[in-house]
A and B are shown apart, each in its own frame.
Chain A
């Protein structure tokens, strides 16, 4: 703990240093009224020359204005990054408050410094700069990291909620504020309806993703995650569309000239803008996916293609006054599936990280700018407007949440509970989007722009700080419904087992919602799109690449550490323990319970948790790796059984740990291995197990019957050990030697790796192989089998 505090000190020290540096620069900047005089002055300072300034070459010069803008922008970004490092060093902090809190604070500090030194802040936030450079990365990142399947499963609800919610909020807040403005006492009567509507639309732009990190602790359910995510994604687009439309209205003639025709045209335009943007995005997504099909040899430009095409979709849509945000979102979503399969592993990582970085930088700049403009002279404080804005934001969000969800719950298979709705309501945190739109209001049309900016800032500060910090405890409070009484160990184990079981059966059943539409799309996708857009001969999914990675590194490590270094065979020891039933004391029970809760595998979740600010390796990935490694070890184990090789010791305790499969009662297994060993030696040439093996397989394949017939063989050797044991073995082997293309999880390399040390000794092997051989010849996979089979033979 002390070390942690120490560590937090040093980045804060650097922070202070940087701040001091900037202050000194700012102050020095202030002291130089003009360019030329500055140069002269500095020349006079540093040049060791005569007093005629223009005629001598100066040794040292200082020209700050040349680099001012990039220099300060870079300093801002660095400052924010250091603050983030400090933020994450204290590991509990991210769970307490969203990171946007921190960014705003840093921005306010910088703003304070700049204001204090009377420095002119760099023109970061210009309308064109914001819309052209700062906004697209943020939206692109949101679209790219969206989990697509849950999104599309819930697309009805998400569209309903996001679109209608934004509209209701915007119009509701605008209208209510207009009514307030009519009250003479508040001095707001010069704010007309259009301006209020515009303000309503920009203030309803929520950024709930910022609070998702806070949710993670409380394990919010997936559907809720998706709703919040979807809302964030579509919200920006809709708000900007509304905003632009209303600005266009404002620019039109006076308010009285607006006729119903215009309003209808406005609505039609809304739809066209939205849908058109999406179409553009999809088109560009397909084009870029198609191009990545050919980039095998120049994989360095793959990230470039991805980014350029996304950006191009944004710009192209903006040219036609369509919604660039929706375009870039649609482009990212479309592109992701195909691009991920086409690009190389390093390009994939590059794309992910670069996207995160770009969006991080953009957001940082916006927040800092927000902080900077907080401390300044461009404010107008009007109590009534601000308080009512705050109040109406909350009220209208509550209304829209509860009303819309009430309706959509009627049609959902998994309706949202009131608790979920409360969470959604409370997660309406405003972010950089609203601020940017407020800041960019044209002053000519909005004489009271400062008031709007102030109100927006107040709302943002309130929601980010107060709601952001309290939402964690709220979620945890709402979540704790279960009684706190301790469950027995039995119950814990069985509950977890049932959860896994339920998840497994759900996977067997497959996903059912929108089954037909998805099914049709999948068929279409398979038949046409994938052929066009994806390179050939590729693994099908990231699980395969994950598997390959672990295949090559860790599996071999596990082999070497796990099996070869097996400790003494302690099976007899276990046999004795069955007789003693120890009575355990309560502390042991507690510790056991702790062990269980910490170490049991989590049930798989459909949506991986999303963190906006970094890409953490998923816990579920580690868990999946472990499980896959175990299954692989089962195979190795079972292939090694019955070895007569000296190093092939019977399974030690360490190996048992890694077996995912019940490879039978240890005592009988011990007997079996010895028996099997004997039978090997008796029945065939020792060492040329392949001969025995192929002989058996030939025998088997001659008798074209089902596997039941090998029962007699087994019972001979095992003295009647349960049949299920062998079958389980054979299934695990089948899955590994399945070799058909469809078995995406078991690519060929696995078999060869297993080959290295898996001798085909053991009669159980022979049976299993035989079973498989019969099956595969029956099924016509004979090709695969023989191909995988032959290396084994050849090696001997």
Chain B
């Protein structure tokens, strides 16, 4: 990595990104490398087309939604800090993160933020609730074509029913969090190489 260490200087605002995301210098350099590899026309930012060219995402049932999550608030481009911010959600949770200063904002890879990221994959209209319809759409994405529509609707019904506590027919973020309290989200949504 000798010759590559100079890249740290190439990344703009590397310190603020580090503080915000908690990535190590080495990881940031690698991510920057990846960012530049994806940005084929050297524009300095990524657009949807660039992300869509990752072949494996095309056969991922959630590929489009994942790509979409990189472009919050309807923007069409994502720059390096934005790119890294999304990936920071998947940083493994280490012990030293737990005894942070309570005044600081929660790190991006906290359990709550990870869950929030997953929640946003469901909740496309950003109204803070997963409606039955949104649940149905996600189910459609993830299930093979042999399952009939009625079965899917049943499943969507049941899913919302299980999680919905205040009876409004939709799953709010709190309810979502509660339904997953037994699950080891930190481990499921962590990628080891992102340290």
Interface residues in chain A, defined as those with a beta carbon under 8 Å from any beta carbon in chain B:
413-414, 488-491, 493-510, 512-513, 515-516, 541, 543, 574, 577-578, 581-584, 588-589, 592, 595-596, 599-601, 604, 623-624, 626-628, 631, 653-654, 656-662, 665-666, 706-708, 722-724, 727-728, 731-732, 734-735, 738, 740, 742-745, 775, 779
Complex contacts, B57 vs chain A, CB 8 Å: 504, 507-508
Answer whether residue B112 sits at the interface, using C-beta atoms and an 8 A cutoff. Answer: no
* Cβ of A529 to closest chain B Cβ, rounded Å: 19
Contact present for B68 and A601 (CB under 8 Å): no
Answer whether residue B106 sits at the interface, using C-beta atoms and an 8 A cutoff. Answer: no
Interface residues in chain B, defined as those with a beta carbon under 8 Å from any beta carbon in chain A:
1, 4, 30-31, 33-34, 37, 40-41, 47-49, 51-64, 66-68, 71, 74, 76, 87, 90, 118, 121, 124-126, 132-134, 137-147, 149, 151, 153-155, 157-159, 161-163, 167, 169, 179-180, 182-183, 185, 188-194
Contact present for B183 and A494 (CB under 8 Å): yes
> Please, which residue of chain B has its CB at the minimum distance from the CB of A653?
B149
Partner of B53, one of A628, A662, A732, A744: A744
Complex contacts, A706 vs chain B, CB 8 Å: 76
* Cβ of B82 to closest chain A Cβ, rounded Å: 13
Partner of B155, one of A509, A513, A592, A626: A592
Complex contacts, A727 vs chain B, CB 8 Å: 68, 71, 74
Contact present for B76 and A658 (CB under 8 Å): no
Contact present for B154 and A588 (CB under 8 Å): yes
Given contacts A505-B87, A731-B64, contact A495 B55 (CB under 8 A): no
Partner of A496, one of B142, B158, B191: B142
Given A507-B54, A509-B193, A734-B49, 5 more A-B residue pairs with CB atoms under 8 Å apart are A413-B192, A512-B30, A592-B158, A628-B58, A735-B48
Contact present for B67 and A604 (CB under 8 Å): no
Given contacts A505-B191, A724-B125, A735-B52, contact A498 B59 (CB under 8 A): no
Complex contacts, B189 vs chain A, CB 8 Å: 498, 501-502
Pick 17 A–B contacts, CB within 8 A, sort by A: A495-B183, A497-B62, A497-B138, A498-B189, A500-B62, A507-B56, A509-B87, A582-B157, A595-B147, A599-B144, A624-B59, A657-B140, A723-B74, A724-B74, A724-B126, A728-B68, A742-B53
Contact present for A600 and B188 (CB under 8 Å): no
> Please, which residue of chain A has its CB at the minimum distance from the CB of B72?
A724
* Cβ of A287 to closest chain B Cβ, rounded Å: 30
Contact present for A600 and B144 (CB under 8 Å): yes
Complex contacts, A513 vs chain B, CB 8 Å: 193
Given contacts A493-B139, A631-B58, A732-B64, contact A509 B194 (CB under 8 A): yes
Contact present for A581 and B191 (CB under 8 Å): no
CA distance A623 to B144 in the complex (A): 8
Partner of A509, one of B34, B47, B147: B34
CA distance A662 to B145 in the complex (A): 16
Given contacts A589-B158, A604-B60, A724-B125, contact A414 B192 (CB under 8 A): yes
Partner of B126, one of A501, A722, A734: A722
CA distance A638 to B66 in the complex (A): 20
CA distance A574 to B135 in the complex (A): 13
Contact present for B58 and A745 (CB under 8 Å): yes
Complex contacts, A654 vs chain B, CB 8 Å: 149
Partner of B144, one of A601, A662, A708, A740: A601
Complex contacts, A631 vs chain B, CB 8 Å: 58, 64
Contact present for B30 and A504 (CB under 8 Å): no
* Cβ of B68 to closest chain A Cβ, rounded Å: 6
> Please, which residue of chain A has its CB at the minimum distance from the CB of B175?
A490
CA distance A489 to B160 in the complex (A): 10
> Please, which residue of chain A has its CB at the minimum distance from the CB of B89?
A505
Contact present for B159 and A489 (CB under 8 Å): yes
Contact present for B161 and A581 (CB under 8 Å): yes
Contact present for A501 and B157 (CB under 8 Å): no
Contact present for B118 and A491 (CB under 8 Å): no
* Cβ of A541 to closest chain B Cβ, rounded Å: 7
Contact present for B163 and A490 (CB under 8 Å): yes
> Please, which residue of chain B has its CB at the minimum distance from the CB of A621?
B59
The 4 closest A-B pairs by CB, nearest first: A624-B59, A507-B56, A504-B66, A498-B188
* Cβ of B71 to closest chain A Cβ, rounded Å: 8
Complex contacts, B146 vs chain A, CB 8 Å: 599
Complex contacts, A515 vs chain B, CB 8 Å: 30, 33
Partner of A489, one of B40, B41, B48, B155: B155
Contact present for B159 and A497 (CB under 8 Å): no
Complex contacts, B124 vs chain A, CB 8 Å: 662, 722, 724, 728
> Please, which residue of chain B has its CB at the minimum distance from the CB of A606?
B56
Complex contacts, B149 vs chain A, CB 8 Å: 653-654, 656-657
CA distance A59 to B87 in the complex (A): 85
Partner of A707, one of B76, B167, B179: B76
* Cβ of A225 to closest chain B Cβ, rounded Å: 18
